[in-house]
Amino acid sequence: MPRIYFTIFSKKCIIILDSFFKKVDIMQEYFQEIVKSISEIVKFDSVQTAPLEGMPFGKGTADSLRYFLELAQSFGFETHNYDNYIGEVVFGNGKEFAILAHLDVVPVGNGWEHDPFGGEIDPVNEKIWGRGTMDDKGPAIVTLYALRALKEEGFIPNRKIKLIVGCNEEAGWECIQHYRKVAVMPEEGFSPDAEFPIIYAEKGIHPVRIAYKLPTPAPFAALQGGTVVNAVCDYCEATLANGVEPDYEKLEKFGLTFVPGCEQNCKYCKDGGKIVSRGVAAHASTPEKGKNAIEPLLRYFGLDDLADVLFADRCGIQKLQDETGHLTFSPDLVTLEDGVLYFTCDIRYPATLTSQDVCAALDTFGLPYTVLEDKKPLFCDKNSPLIQTLLGVYNSVTGEHAQPIAIGGGTYARALKNGCGFGPETADIDNRIHNSNEFITFGQIRLMYEVYYRAIAAVCQ
């Protein structure tokens, strides 16, 4: 008998025929192709690099976009490449519905045991390894195959579905800005770049640059660490001034390593060796999952007051909270310039608060700072038709009775008037997003495929 889903999305019962839910046969038919396609697209190093002619974010992102759109074209879809900023796959007609994913990735960082751009398929452990497998190339590919299956089965959506794939999500959203100039952004949709069951709220994103004037004479000639503002710093090093000897007792205390410098002790050489700190990377929205490499160096050099402000929440900024959680604060980049330490800090603030609330708390630090950006929070009605329809699909597939949740991560969903994050991460698996050895499991591929397949049919029937 047909499966019947009751939803307030269309204010009536939506009957979805069994012919659209032969999930076992569908998964068997497409699974190996999906795995291969994820592996292939991961092989493109799509970390943003210096722009080239016709490639605003570098060759890797442009190649990744080309691969994705050519794959979609091979399935018979209409596609558009908007100047290698962003692209889209179009299916159906009617009121537009967006599915927003991205093909760029964060820098590799340290500690990999697998080639980050190898797309290694591990049939024994049922995983694919590589940067972007879960964030967000894998989900983009799975969503494309869900559209393919619906199309090839004769499904006719009553809405124009736009699978939009950007190339600058991790470092600025210029791709979204460009899309708005050359195309029309749908008002409603979801982003497969978050967590299941469904995200009704995302915290505001408010990176800042904090300055700290070092006392003189400074105990080091250079200090630098971190790769990107939205990942916990996993490597930091300080170059000792010539003639400064390392304190081996303190090195052991703070888990640091000394690397000798110039053996000749040249008269004009400023390299007295390096103090190296190694941490554990994590997504900056969940800094507690990582280990920041900057703090031990600050404490080694006796900058405890500064360390307490930045890492021990001495001023209480992280006490700002609401139903979407507490403010998170993660100093992820540091550099020394003309006797001043500059810390670029990732801040995610509760969705019902404002940038003014954050700045008022930052003022208590007593340190000069510059606000680099303010991405407004996403905050949707948990009982909205879109949220409840997608949640119903997820619960039907999994047998759960899950409820909408809030996260600190930021997705393209906030580019929509009525948007939400919808998978693919699950609470029981740490996919090491923004960390070394990122992976996606075969089980997660199967889950998101079925969920997205059903969800697209449900909202576009």
Which region among 214-228, 263-277, 319-333, 414-428 has the lowest average model confidence (pLDDT)?
263-277
* Mean pLDDT confidence for 417-443: 95
Tokens 């004479």 identify what position? Answer: 217
Kindly tell me if the per-residue pLDDT of 270 is higher than 90.
no
Residue 447: pLDDT band by 50, 70, 90 thresholds?
very high
* 384 and 358 together in one domain: no
Buried b (16+ CB within 10 A) or exposed e, 170-194: bbebbbbebbeeeeebbebbbbbbb
Cis peptide before 363, with omega less than 30 degrees from 0? no
* 24 and 146 together in one domain: yes
Residue 17: pLDDT band by 50, 70, 90 thresholds?
very low
* 296 and 339 together in one domain: yes
Those residues whose C-beta lies under 8 Å from the C-beta of residue 85, and which sit 6 or more positions away, are 56, 57, 166, 167, 168, 174, 175, 178, 179
* 196 and 69 together in one domain: yes
Given strand 120-122, what is the order of strands in its sheet?
A: 120-122, 127-129, 439-441
The pLDDT, as a whole number, for residue 54 is 97
Q: How many domains does the chain have?
A: 2
The pLDDT, as a whole number, for residue 12 is 35
The pLDDT, as a whole number, for residue 27 is 61
Q: What is the pLDDT of residues 112-137, one digit of tens each?
A: 999 999 999 999 999 999 999 999 99
Q: Provide the 3-class DSSP secondary structure of residue 355.
A: helix
Q: What is the pLDDT of residues 132-163, one digit of tens each?
A: 999 999 999 999 999 999 999 999 999 999 99
* Mean pLDDT confidence for 170-187: 96
- The answer to whether residues 440 and 138 touch, using CB atoms and an 8 Å cutoff, is yes
Q: What is the pLDDT of residues 44-71, one digit of tens each?
A: 999 999 999 999 999 999 999 999 999 9
* 422 and 344 together in one domain: no
* Mean pLDDT confidence for 381-402: 96
Q: What percent helix, strand, coil does the chain show, rounded to 5?
A: 30, 30, 40
The pLDDT, as a whole number, for residue 25 is 54
Domain boundary among 371, 399, 423: 371
* 338 and 426 together in one domain: no
**Could you please report the per-residue DSSP string of 200-249?**
EEE-EE--EEEEEEPPSS-SEEEEEE-S-TTB---EEEEEEPTTPPP-HH
The pLDDT, as a whole number, for residue 23 is 47
- The answer to whether residues 117 and 24 touch, using CB atoms and an 8 Å cutoff, is no
What's the CATH number where 196 sits?
Answer: 3.40.630.10
Distances (CA, A) of 19 to 45, 391, 436: 39, 22, 41
DSSP run (H or E) holding 458: helix 442-459
Q: Which domain holds residue 44?
A: 3-203+377-459
Kindly tell me if the per-residue pLDDT of 271 is higher than 60.
no
Kindly tell me if the per-residue pLDDT of 3 is higher than 50.
no
Kindly tell me if the per-residue pLDDT of 19 is higher than 80.
no
* 192 and 215 together in one domain: no
Report the number of secondary-structure helices (H) and strands (E) in the chain: 10, 27
Distances (CA, A) of 307 to 89, 212, 296, 330: 48, 11, 9, 12
Q: Which tokens in the block code for residue 276?
A: 């190296």
Tokens 């900023």 identify what position? Answer: 85
Q: Provide the 3-class DSSP secondary structure of residue 29.
A: helix
**Calpha distance 31→134 (Å, rounded):** 16
**Could you please report the per-residue DSSP string of 311-338?**
HS-TT-GGG-EETTEE-EEEEEEEEEET
Residue 8: pLDDT band by 50, 70, 90 thresholds?
very low
Number of Cβ within 10 Å of residue 335's Cβ equals 15
The pLDDT, as a whole number, for residue 244 is 85
**Calpha distance 76→87 (Å, rounded):** 16
Q: Provide the 3-class DSSP secondary structure of residue 137.
A: helix
Share of the chain above pLDDT 70, in %: 91
* 98 and 240 together in one domain: no
Kindly tell me if the per-residue pLDDT of 264 is higher than 80.
no
What's the CATH number where 293 sits?
Answer: 3.30.70.360
Q: Which tokens in the block code for residue 10?
A: 């269309």
* 113 and 43 together in one domain: yes
The pLDDT, as a whole number, for residue 37 is 98
* Mean pLDDT confidence for 259-265: 64
End-to-end CA distance of the chain: 18
* Mean pLDDT confidence for 378-395: 96
Domain boundary among 371, 394, 417: 371
**Calpha distance 362→315 (Å, rounded):** 8
Residue 87: pLDDT band by 50, 70, 90 thresholds?
very high
Kindly tell me if the per-residue pLDDT of 72 is higher than 50.
yes
The pLDDT, as a whole number, for residue 1 is 31
- Helical packing angle, 23-42 and 59-74, nearest 10°: 150
**Calpha distance 166→180 (Å, rounded):** 12
In terms of Cα–Cα distance, which of 384, 289, 290, 277 is closest to 7? 384
Distances (CA, A) of 279 to 30, 334, 344, 435: 40, 14, 17, 11
In terms of Cα–Cα distance, which of 439, 451, 457 is closest to 398? 451
The pLDDT, as a whole number, for residue 241 is 83
Q: Which residues pair with 328 in a beta bridge?
A: 348
- Rounded mean pLDDT of the chain? 91
Q: What is the pLDDT of residues 187-244, one digit of tens each?
A: 999 999 999 999 999 999 999 999 999 998 888 999 999 999 999 999 999 999 877 8
The pLDDT, as a whole number, for residue 302 is 95
* 224 and 185 together in one domain: no
- The answer to whether residues 105 and 135 touch, using CB atoms and an 8 Å cutoff, is yes
pTM score: 0.80
* 419 and 316 together in one domain: no
* 330 and 229 together in one domain: yes
The pLDDT, as a whole number, for residue 243 is 79
Domain boundary among 325, 343, 371: 371
**Calpha distance 370→146 (Å, rounded):** 44
**Calpha distance 331→316 (Å, rounded):** 15
